[in-house]
Amino acid sequence: MKKMYRHLGWVVGAALILAACQSATTEAPPADQPPDQPAEPAGPFRIAVVAPSPTNDLAFTQSMFDAVSAIQSERGDDAIEIAFSEGMFVVDDAAAALRDYATEGFDLVIAHGSQYGSSLQEIAPDFPDTSFAWGTTVDTFGLDNIYAYEARSEEGGYVNGVVAAQMSDSGILGVVGPIETGDAKLYVDGFVAGAQSANPDVEVNVNWIGSFSDVALASEAAQTHINAGADVLTGTAQMVVGAVGVAEENGVLWFGTQANQSSLAPSIVAANQVYDWTVVLDPMIDSILAGNLGGESFAITLANGGLNIEFNPEVAVSGDATAAADDAYDGIVAGTIDPLASTGAAYCEPIRVAVVMPSPINDLAFSQSMYDGLAAIQDECGDDVFEFAFSESMFVVDDAAAALRDYALEGYNLVIAHGSQYGSSLQEIAPDFPDTSFAWGTTVDTFGMDNVYAYEARSEEGGYVNGVIAAGMSDSGVIGVVGPIETGDAKLYVDGFVLGAQSVDPSIEVNVNWIGSFSDVALASEAAQTHINAGADVLTGTAQMVVGAIGVAEEDGVLWFGTQANQTSLAPDIVVANQVYDWTVVLKQIIGNFHAGDLGGESFALTLGNGGLNIEYNSGVDVPADVRSLADDAVQAIGDGSITVDMGG
């Protein structure tokens, strides 16, 4: 009986392996068909589009959808056939779709999203008789069957900025951006430049929410801008519907881009930069029909009519503003105005980065902050320039050490050990790879080695500010802290928090509990409950186990202060403020140094002063004005050095 089972097991296993091999071989690309004469298509010209968001997003994807539909109406349904895959935000799904369309013999396959680049670079060579188009970009990878297209969205951004600055009474403008990359970055840079040209004293606050689709966060960002005094807003990408809604509620003006967003909020949308991709598609299609499958890049601009400024007749725009807009428009078209005072980024040169982290990348804390930082740089520089690999959940130090060594062996230029517990391992590994740059955090110790960078977060600074607000908002005079292990980053935060609280109220009671683990969520929740039972009405804590503490805080209506990442989404009713780490501030310096030839020997820090640490408030929880001003003063003072948060011994 037993033997039969064992044999059965082997047979099943062998069958599975054989089946896998079979399916692998049947996935080989189909044999070439005799190439069609492209000049005389037998049937309609077939266009396929793969796009990252829905066709009704009133933004990026809709603009392309409208354009291909317009082409179809213009040339006739029997001349043009369209297939459209929307919502392809997962790049692997998009890559599969692109490959499928090419296999099915579409004439033009459009990868409408800069994130699809690396996939397209692999797919296009397999289909030499298919024409591909990729946007928004100028890069055709040197392949002769890829067209590139982009929108010079900084042009319309500039015009929008000019009008916005003219129409703002408060002199404060707010921008809700997705991720600081590509099309979005161009638009925002142009907008800022245009606003400043119209009014040099204008204040333009830019918020990159880190997502193209997080509508809730976009609405929060808009609310934050309004709270900070903005009376005109703009933004780009499909998440702006959230921002537009908030703008409408508050009677604040909106400037749109990519599509005409007037219908969303007819009373407050002043003007829109509308994309007309037909200006790019028409010459592309004609070119393909004439036999050229790619190798050229196109752009939509104000001058060629691919970009148009459409005003909303329901919103009154002053004569001055209109005149200024016309001047800006004419200047850009004529070439006398350059909307971008472009700054080349010294860190955007080819590099391969690897990072080893102790917890998951979605821990809303330590590891997530580093992952987000690296992803942001990748979006800015492009993933063909900035490549990064990561190993998460490496809480066992030996596993992490193996991973660090492997990455160095595989030739990564910069290997980041994101965890102070990795120090002794790194000290052994780094000397074996003198040509590899290592970075270790959070610490200041480079072991005196010239290929090790150190980085840290002065988390006591934001801890201090959190402490100030916490003490100001506690009624019971008892505050609870749920800490992991009394070391490194965690210790800095807690010490700073205690000092900040005591600076506001010397008699305040701050109880600190070190639960002895970075990951024991159950114990963290018990610690939080204990604090509450002991009278605390405000809590804070650090490390990824705080989700347990936040849950308990929310149940009992107790306020929470977060650190490392913005934890508002976990408990929107009780999270007051968060010290958010922006590791790009440190990463850009390290990478810039690397490209300049230094592999290590220096330490960097995130501070309130250099923008690496930011206090992000939850607009859903009210902070009394006097407390808020104490906090703002503290941020100011720490930032310019007049207060140093004294850590003592």
The footprint of another protein (CB under 8 A) covers 2, 5-6, 9, 359-360, 362-364, 393, 395, 480, 485-486, 511-517, 519-523, 525-527, 529-531, 533-534, 544, 547-548, 551, 554, 569-571
Write out the DSSP string of 386-443: EEEEEE----SHHHHHHHHHHHHHTT-SEEEEESGGGHHHHHHHGGG-TTSEEEEES-
For β-strands 269-275 and 613-617, DSSP reports them as unpaired
Closer residue to another protein in complex, CB, 227/533 = 533
How far apart are CB 187 and another protein at their closest, in Å? 27
How far apart are CB 145 and another protein at their closest, in Å? 33
Write out the DSSP string of 263-278: GG-TTTEEEEEEE-TH
Closer residue to another protein in complex, CB, 384/555 = 555
How far apart are CB 355 and another protein at their closest, in Å? 17
How far apart are CB 3 and another protein at their closest, in Å? 11
Partner residues linked to 441 by β-bridges: 418, 455
How far apart are CB 497 and another protein at their closest, in Å? 16
CA–CA distance, 53 with 85 (Å, rounded to integer): 9
Cβ burial, residue 58 (10 Å; 0-12/13-18/19+) = buried
The closest of 86, 216, 133 to 566, measured between CA atoms, is 216
How far apart are CB 557 and another protein at their closest, in Å? 15
Closer residue to another protein in complex, CB, 393/503 = 393
CA–CA distance, 398 with 301 (Å, rounded to integer): 55
How far apart are CB 526 and another protein at their closest, in Å? 5
Angular region, 291: left φ>0, alpha ψ -120 to 50, beta rest: left
Calculate the alpha carbon distances from 257 to 150, 234, 422, 467 in Å.
14, 8, 46, 41
Closer residue to another protein in complex, CB, 554/602 = 554
First to last CA, the chain: 70
Closer residue to another protein in complex, CB, 253/553 = 553
In the block, residue with structure tokens 């010397």: 506
Q: Which two tokens stand for residue 601?
A: 């020997």
Closer residue to another protein in complex, CB, 331/572 = 572
Q: Which two tokens stand for residue 148?
A: 């590139």
The three-class DSSP label of residue 152 is coil
Closer residue to another protein in complex, CB, 253/365 = 365
Could you tell me how far CA 516 lies from the centroid of its own chain? Answer: 33
Calculate the alpha carbon distances from 333 to 154, 303, 326, 338, 647 in Å.
12, 5, 11, 10, 57
Calculate the alpha carbon distances from 506 to 477, 480, 500, 623, 625 in Å.
10, 16, 10, 21, 21
Closer residue to another protein in complex, CB, 515/634 = 515
CA–CA distance, 107 with 116 (Å, rounded to integer): 19
Cβ burial, residue 377 (10 Å; 0-12/13-18/19+) = buried
How far apart are CB 210 and another protein at their closest, in Å? 12
How far apart are CB 502 and another protein at their closest, in Å? 14
The three-class DSSP label of residue 188 is helix
How far apart are CB 362 and another protein at their closest, in Å? 5
How far apart are CB 508 and another protein at their closest, in Å? 13
How far apart are CB 637 and another protein at their closest, in Å? 29
How far apart are CB 159 and another protein at their closest, in Å? 37
How far apart are CB 556 and another protein at their closest, in Å? 12
Q: What is the length of the chain?
A: 649
Closer residue to another protein in complex, CB, 292/420 = 420
Contact between 536 and 559 (Cβ < 8 Å)? no
The closest of 283, 285, 253 to 270, measured between CA atoms, is 253
In the block, residue with structure tokens 């000397």: 431
The three-class DSSP label of residue 643 is coil
Closer residue to another protein in complex, CB, 272/359 = 359
How far apart are CB 552 and another protein at their closest, in Å? 9
Residue 600: how many other CB atoms lie within 10 Å = 23
Contact between 461 and 613 (Cβ < 8 Å)? yes
Residue 476: how many other CB atoms lie within 10 Å = 14
Within 8 A by CB and 6+ apart from 313, the residues are none
Cβ burial, residue 205 (10 Å; 0-12/13-18/19+) = middle
Closer residue to another protein in complex, CB, 122/486 = 486
How far apart are CB 332 and another protein at their closest, in Å? 40
